[in-house]
Structure 1
Amino acid sequence: MSSAPADTTVPTKPWLSLGGREFHSRLILGIEQYTDATLVSEVLRAAGADVFITTFDLEQTRPSLLMSDLDETVGLDDYVWIGTTSFARSREDALLTARRLRESYGIHIMKLDVRPSDNFPHNAQTVTAAAELVAEGFDVLPFILPDPDTAAALEQAGCAAIRLMASPVASARGVVDERAVRETMAAVSVPVILEGGLGTPAQVVRAMELGADAVLVNTAIAQAPQPAVLAASMRHAVLAGRLAVDQGLVGPLAP
């Protein structure tokens, strides 16, 4: 009788290592939309996440959770802390947010977003901000619209990974331009994260099939009737897509 297959629910090898910290889970969750620390804990654990993301709202117009409540409920020592500039509308705001996060929490891994009022990444400002943060000692994970030249410039600037917009944030449209995504991935050798508009497990599987090293999901889970249940579903979707890629079952480009 053959032995049972190995447990593949948790990847054994990290897909990214930074400053002695390892990223094993290929599902990253944004938590900016939550106001309940207990729910944040449930969602992170259901997702199998190993990253905790925090930020500053420079405008101070959005609800936020107290870090003390999160530390008590979530158990922040169990996670790799990274910062995000997701509320930054300009290069200047992004730099200010990143520096405050490092001063306040000692965070040096930065999820860099520069999104003006249209909420789309501003590629040119992102390249400039990324170069400045790398020069200041940050490990930078910039968010851009798919574009091979921009991605290559960010890798050359020293960014640790590249984050590509799959579709407009919160749109639930999935990956809208698969060819552009694949061409951008092919232009770099650093890990690539797909995010934005990933609204269903099927869309997450597809993102992984296209070759993403990881995905980031926020709105779909935060707004689900049972966020922890959808987080668990997304966790299995990531695993299914990754295992398919490992077996050479990469899906064709959409027509």
Structure 2
Amino acid sequence: MTIHSSASFGDLEEPWLRIGEHAFRSRLLVGIEQYESVQVVRDVLTATGADVFITTVDPDNRRSSLLLSDLDDALDLDRFTWIGTTSFSRSKESALRTAEILRDSMGIGILKLDVRGQDNVPDNRQTVEAAHELRAADWELLPFILPDLKTAMALEEAGCAALRVMASPVASGRGIVDPEPIQEIIDAVNIPVIVEGGLGSAKHVALAMEMGAAATLVNTALVQAKEPMKMALAMRHATIAGQLAYESGPMPEALVA
């Protein structure tokens, strides 16, 4: 069989998640909260092949961000599926308030739900509580949790569209420090699992995909790279390589090292 490019594999372009009329095809999600340059955001989103645009507000006004109007001038934002995030929230109440603002101001109905403590680590209990309230208000949710099977099952039962599981502390670059509980969740739930947090290299992304993750999310690794565009391309190719390796059925020993 002659392989010309990743486009030869039609299943790579099949959606891994559908929410209403929205189809998620790119298995690499990209955060844009740390950037100071509109042009770099444009180039990173293009290089990674991202089809999701993640936006937020900070209800406590503690952080600055790029203006959406400036981004829209540099990039056709209409081609993306817009989802909101509560990544600045440090309590359930803040997350709920952020969600309300995102819906009222932007009409967003899909939420990357984050409830993190002051240590920037997901608070699983508050996340489950927030998820129940937001699901009752018809939000579609992608919650971020520490790898705990009981929490994952509770969020699946609550009707979340997908799960985001922390590989290691956010922005740490440590990769997947303990794959076993993440693998347990991937194998147990019937909704897509996104691996994120601390994915600092293409190797980390490829491993997550080889484990059977539906997608990965990266941010800091791109922002802090000396050449973000090259890192963006590396992450994109690692995503494809890891997915193909998973689908090919690698030897179990290959995932141990």
Give the TM-score, by structure 1 length: 0.96
CA distance in 2, matches of 1:90, 1:39: 31
What is the match of residue 7 of structure 1?
5
CA distance in 1, matches of 2:4, 2:159: 37
Q: Deviations over 1:99-136 (max 9, x none)?
A: 10011111101000000101110001000101111111
Aligned 1:14-163 pairs, distance under 5 A: 14-163=15-164
CA distance in 1, matches of 2:72, 2:251: 40
CA distance in 2, matches of 1:59, 1:132: 21
Shift of the alpha carbon at 1:6? 5.5
CA distance in 2, matches of 1:12, 1:86: 28
* Aligned partner of residue 244 in structure 1, secondary structure: helix
Q: Percent of pairs identical after alignment? A: 55
Instruction: Name the amino acid aligned to 2:3.
Output: P
Mapped contact 1:210–1:250 kept (Cα < 8 A)? no
Mapped contact 2:29–2:216 kept (Cα < 8 A)? yes
Instruction: Name the amino acid aligned to 1:84.
Output: T
Which segment drifts farther, 185-194 or 9-18? Answer: 9-18
CA distance in 2, matches of 1:197, 1:245: 21
Mapped contact 1:209–1:251 kept (Cα < 8 A)? no
CA distance in 2, matches of 1:240, 1:203: 12
* Aligned partner of residue 233 in structure 1, secondary structure: helix
Shift of the alpha carbon at 1:24? 0.4
Shift of the alpha carbon at 1:185? 1.7
CA distance in 1, matches of 2:15, 2:252: 24
Instruction: Name the amino acid aligned to 1:248.
Output: G
Shift of the alpha carbon at 1:36? 1.1
Shift of the alpha carbon at 1:38? 1.1
Mapped contact 1:27–1:47 kept (Cα < 8 A)? yes
CA gap 1:29/1:251 in 2 versus in 1, 3 angstroms = farther
Instruction: Name the amino acid aligned to 1:207.
Output: A
What is the match of residue 227 of structure 2?
226
Mapped contact 1:94–1:129 kept (Cα < 8 A)? yes
Give the TM-score, by structure 2 length: 0.95
CA distance in 1, matches of 2:135, 2:211: 28
Mapped contact 1:57–1:87 kept (Cα < 8 A)? yes
Shift of the alpha carbon at 1:59? 2.2
Instruction: Name the amino acid aligned to 1:136.
Output: A
Instruction: Name the amino acid aligned to 1:55.
Output: T
Q: Deviations over 1:55-113 (max 9, x none)?
A: 00122222211111011112101111000000000000001101100111111010000
